[in-house]
């Protein structure tokens, strides 16, 4: 029996995420968020807990999104595992889109993994962000490692290789393209890096 909220919480967090990813945390003011979301300051402070609260919740939403889409892109039958890995790698080096159906931002630095950008900007001075960011990374590592195991079962990747080590390495490469992309390199260069990485995957020895 009270006035209902007039905004969509997820939509607001989405807009905030876009802003943070475009301008960084310290480069974004509450007024920027207010303008991007259309919400007044009062509502922002009531619904979230100020700027930092918005960041944490936006990162939480990002984490949930990753946890939903990455496994979906990588999980499946053993036969297609290597192909899925290939496709994932090729897509991932071009950034993380805001939503599944929109292309990543044209500015590659703004398309970089939200968690990566925040973790690198805020560093160890913000343990909450560091942990959330690491959670995002772990979800991806787990999904990739599972896909590697599937490819191994199918005889496409050397069974002696450690799937977790391989997953860490692949994710490190993907995060690296966030940085290399920020230097202004062309998408073609990033694709080339992805292909080089894929070509070096350890194949089974015989046959």
39's tokens: 């919400």
Binding at 134: pick from a second copy, DNA, none (beta carbon under 5-8 Å per type): a second copy
d(CA 25, CA 197): 31
Q: Is 140 in the site for a second copy (CB under 8 A)?
A: no
Q: By rule CB under 8 A, what string of x and - marks binding of each residue 40-59 to a second copy?
A: --------------------
CB of 22 to a second copy, least distance (A): 7
For 124, 158, 172, the CA distances from 116, given in Å and listed in that order, are 13, 30, 11
d(CA 28, CA 52): 11
Q: How far is CA 38 from the centre of its chain?
A: 25
Binding-site size for DNA (CB under 7 A) equals 24
In the bound state with DNA, the residue whose beta carbon lies nearer, of 53 and 204, is 53
Region of 1-9, 60-68, 83-91, 160-168 interacting with a second copy (CB under 8 A): 160-168
Q: Is 120 in the site for a second copy (CB under 8 A)?
A: yes
Q: Is 131 in the site for DNA (CB under 7 A)?
A: no
DSSP 3-state of 6: coil
d(CA 62, CA 137): 11
Binding at 72: pick from a second copy, DNA, none (beta carbon under 5-8 Å per type): none
């Amino acid at each position: 029996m009270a006035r209902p909220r007039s905004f969509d919480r997820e939509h607001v967090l989405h807009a905030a995420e876009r802003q943070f990813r475009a301008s960084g945390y310290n480069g974004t003011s509450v007024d920027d968020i207010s303008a991007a979301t259309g919400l007044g300051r009062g509502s922002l402070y009531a619904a979230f807990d100020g700027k930092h609260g918005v960041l944490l919740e936006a990162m939480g939403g990002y984490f949930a999104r990753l946890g939903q889409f990455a496994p979906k892109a990588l999980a499946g039958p053993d036969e297609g595992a290597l192909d899925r890995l290939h496709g994932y790698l090729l897509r991932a080096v071009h950034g993380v889109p805001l939503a599944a159906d929109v292309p990543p931002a044209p500015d590659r630095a703004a398309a970089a993994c939200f968690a990566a950008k925040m973790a690198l900007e805020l560093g160890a001075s913000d343990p909450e962000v560091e942990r959330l960011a690491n959670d995002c990374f772990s979800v991806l590592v787990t999904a990739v490692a599972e896909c590697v195991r599937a490819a191994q079962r199918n005889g496409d990747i050397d069974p002696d290789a450690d799937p977790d080590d391989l997953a860490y390495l692949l994710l490190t490469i993907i995060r690296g393209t966030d940085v290399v992309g920020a230097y202004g390199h062309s998408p073609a260069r990033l694709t080339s890096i992805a292909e080089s990485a894929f070509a070096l995957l350890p194949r089974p020895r015989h046959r």
